[in-house]
Chain A
């Protein structure tokens, strides 16, 4: 009972601590917007394409105080953002907010495939690597992790595409094959329940769509996995090594436990704590990875949209995306904090 209450207050405290972070993020984004002249900043407040005329923009500048001191501007801007108005995306020909909503499922599809593999396999390899320190397995895992970490994701993506599509013709780029995309977009038989085509295919009973979507997801997910797994391996290995050097490991051995019990019960639980913390960083890394891999494979998600926007100097889109990733990151960290409290009983007292 006490434990549960402690957990609740802990989560509440975390939530309160989020406020300054979110405010800080918004200030940073706002500071970036201030680098632009008012005519461009005006785009951040516009919600439909008819408003893009010069006279209108003058009106917007007046209405939202874009020539006033920055603190006044900040609050008018923040008020707009809180209402979900992030401006007009020229790249997507839609308001930024809805552009993000439409594209998020595609990106989520990649992440859903990559993240579990990264975490589970990365943990497993990192722990094994620590247990068999300086043995062959350790050397192989570490080398593989370093290589993965050093791979330029766009280059690796191109190689995979050249091999699996250019040469073998198995795994095509894009999000869906053109005919399937057409079917998905226009057929009466297909309803986009979630926007995740693999899931929607199953829900609609159109397994061919699921299969096609799955084939398109494999390569981007692989690229992200190979590159980001190094992060988890490294942290898992070093925290496992640290756990294995602790006094309680000697106690556990002195109790007469087997090596397996010592590792699986006593060391691993403690090694999980730093890995949990680093998962927040993993989220950031995944969002970055998505920008590159989606661009490489022409996968129509958030990442490729953001890259395209940046190239076309579409300011509201880029900033909207940056804000979105920051929020994702903050939420991920909140989840991590809560998980953390479950794993580490010491945390609630602190």
Chain B
């Protein structure tokens, strides 16, 4: 096949997708609210890119909030905004301005990594459920249902405290499982003999190496890491469900039958034909969830389960206001008000964009 004809073919295959993008673009242009959403998100991106300039980090780890210990000793109470501390300080004299600026990066980090990992888990489970069907489908989907059934924050609370601080990852064991499963699937599907033999040899080699030299990795996790892991673990079910639905829909279309008739292997069909058709809207849909993920993370921080007290994180600062439930709250209003505005506007930006795009993207809710 020549390059140009391949290009033509690619162009033709991309045609409906391009149409979709155009429609989305049009939709965004039509709705002023989603433009506001984009502006907000872009604003935060710029803010996070400029944070080393806007708030130069005094310590090696930029996420540690600077704190004047001398003053904190004199009075642990929050101070209102001054020129030196534009947003004021919390109790123990942590600078709120610094926390808000660097908190933006924390928010993006939480949001983006969670979407990525949750999406990956979701894709694997959703595709597996849809493709293998039958009992595997039933089991995976019931599991998904149960996690969805739990109120997210409450499951997260339980998980955060359940994740141990020192985490030992048994690498050898994981390797054995991975290669064992791959070999197993290679044998039950129609893989080539050569591949089967190679996989079997690797599997035996890994098994032997485990017996000779077990490999363990030890991680120590701080609270923020635990929050991240928790969000990964509770975030995937809705994606898995949508992807399963999409794959099932695509699976029955004619060209998949054609690919099957042409002798493409099962996994090949999923990777080459089904995923590209199912995945784009879901990726965008998932990335629009960054807002609500950050909101959940902030809620965990607010409950005292998130970032440590000196870490630049919006929810963590607000949590400090819990010390003055009552009449003093109004005197130290800046402590919760300003980081709260950051969270609110950040989440609002994603939701505004999401509201305009959701019906376009939702594969179960196609437009006319």
Within 8 A of B (CB), among A308-331: 310-311, 313, 315, 318-319, 321-322, 325-326, 329-330
Interface residue from A33, A284, A292, A310 paired with B149 (Cβ < 8 Å): A284
A306-B154 CB under 8 A given contacts A150-B344, A150-B348, A167-B330? yes
Within 8 A of B (CB), among A7-59: 20-21, 24-25, 28-29, 32-33, 35-36
Contact (Cβ within 8 A) A165 B327:
yes
A25-B351 CB under 8 A given contacts A36-B162, A165-B329? no
Within 8 A of A (CB), among B306-365: 315, 318, 321-322, 325-331, 333, 336-337, 340, 343-344, 347-348, 351-352, 355, 359, 365
Contact (Cβ within 8 A) B365 A238:
yes
Interface residue from B150, B298, B315, B322 paired with A284 (Cβ < 8 Å): B150
CA distance in complex: A329, B152 (Å): 12
Interface residues on B, range: 35 or more
Interface residue from B303, B330, B340 paired with A307 (Cβ < 8 Å): B303
Stretch with Cβ within 8 A of B (4 or more), from A156-164, A182-190, A337-345: A156-164
Interface residue from B159, B304, B340 paired with A155 (Cβ < 8 Å): B340
Stretch with Cβ within 8 A of B (4 or more), from A100-108, A209-217, A250-258, A294-302: A294-302
CA distance in complex: A21, B147 (Å): 10
Query: B151: which A residues are within 8 A, CB to CB?
Result: 284-285, 287-288, 325, 329
Min C-beta distance of B98 to chain A, whole Å: 19
Query: A74: which B residues are within 8 A, CB to CB?
Result: none
Min C-beta distance of B359 to chain A, whole Å: 7
Query: A113: which B residues are within 8 A, CB to CB?
Result: none
Cβ of A220 under 8 Å from chain B: no
CA distance in complex: A25, B158 (Å): 13
Interface residue from A24, A36, A143, A291 paired with B153 (Cβ < 8 Å): A291
Contact (Cβ within 8 A) B162 A295:
no
CA distance in complex: A164, B337 (Å): 15
CA distance in complex: A36, B158 (Å): 11
A153-B299 CB under 8 A given contacts A143-B33, A146-B352, A310-B161? yes
Query: A154: which B residues are within 8 A, CB to CB?
Result: 298-299, 302, 318
Contact (Cβ within 8 A) A146 B327:
no
CA distance in complex: A329, B340 (Å): 30
Cβ of A6 under 8 Å from chain B: no
A295 nearest in chain B by CB position: B303
Min C-beta distance of A226 to chain B, whole Å: 13
A150-B326 CB under 8 A given contacts A21-B145, A310-B157? no
Query: B321: which A residues are within 8 A, CB to CB?
Result: 158
B299 nearest in chain A by CB position: A292
A152-B298 CB under 8 A given contacts A32-B162, A318-B161? yes
A152-B329 CB under 8 A given contacts A147-B348, A310-B305? no
Q: Which of B152, B329, B333, B348 has the most CB of A within 10 A?
A: B329
Min C-beta distance of B271 to chain A, whole Å: 30
CA distance in complex: A321, B154 (Å): 8
A297-B325 CB under 8 A given contacts A150-B347, A152-B299, A322-B150? yes
Interface residue from B149, B157, B291, B325 paired with A173 (Cβ < 8 Å): B325
Cβ of A64 under 8 Å from chain B: no
Within 8 A of A (CB), among B149-179: 149-155, 157-164
Query: B159: which A residues are within 8 A, CB to CB?
Result: 32
Query: Binding site of A, secondary structure by majority: helix, strand, loop or mixed?
Result: helix
Interface residue from A166, A296, A322, A330 paired with B158 (Cβ < 8 Å): A322
Contact (Cβ within 8 A) B304 A326:
no
A162-B333 CB under 8 A given contacts A152-B299, A153-B299? yes
Contact (Cβ within 8 A) B347 A296:
no
Cβ of A207 under 8 Å from chain B: no
Contact (Cβ within 8 A) A318 B158:
yes
CA distance in complex: A291, B327 (Å): 22
Contact (Cβ within 8 A) B161 A313:
yes
Query: B355: which A residues are within 8 A, CB to CB?
Result: 142, 146
Cβ of A151 under 8 Å from chain B: yes
Contact (Cβ within 8 A) A146 B348:
yes
Interface residue from A158, A162, A311, A326 paired with B303 (Cβ < 8 Å): A311
A155-B318 CB under 8 A given contacts A162-B329, A291-B154? yes
Return 8 A-B CB contacts under 8 Å, by A number.
Answer: A33-B162, A142-B355, A152-B315, A158-B340, A296-B325, A310-B160, A321-B154, A322-B155
Chain A residues within CB distance 8 Å of chain B: 20-21, 24-25, 28-29, 32-33, 35-36, 142-143, 146-147, 149-155, 158-159, 161-162, 165-167, 169, 173, 238, 284-285, 287-288, 291-292, 295-298, 306-307, 310-311, 313, 315, 318-319, 321-322, 325-326, 329-330, 333
Closest 4 CB pairs of A and B: A166-B330, A155-B340, A284-B151, A35-B162
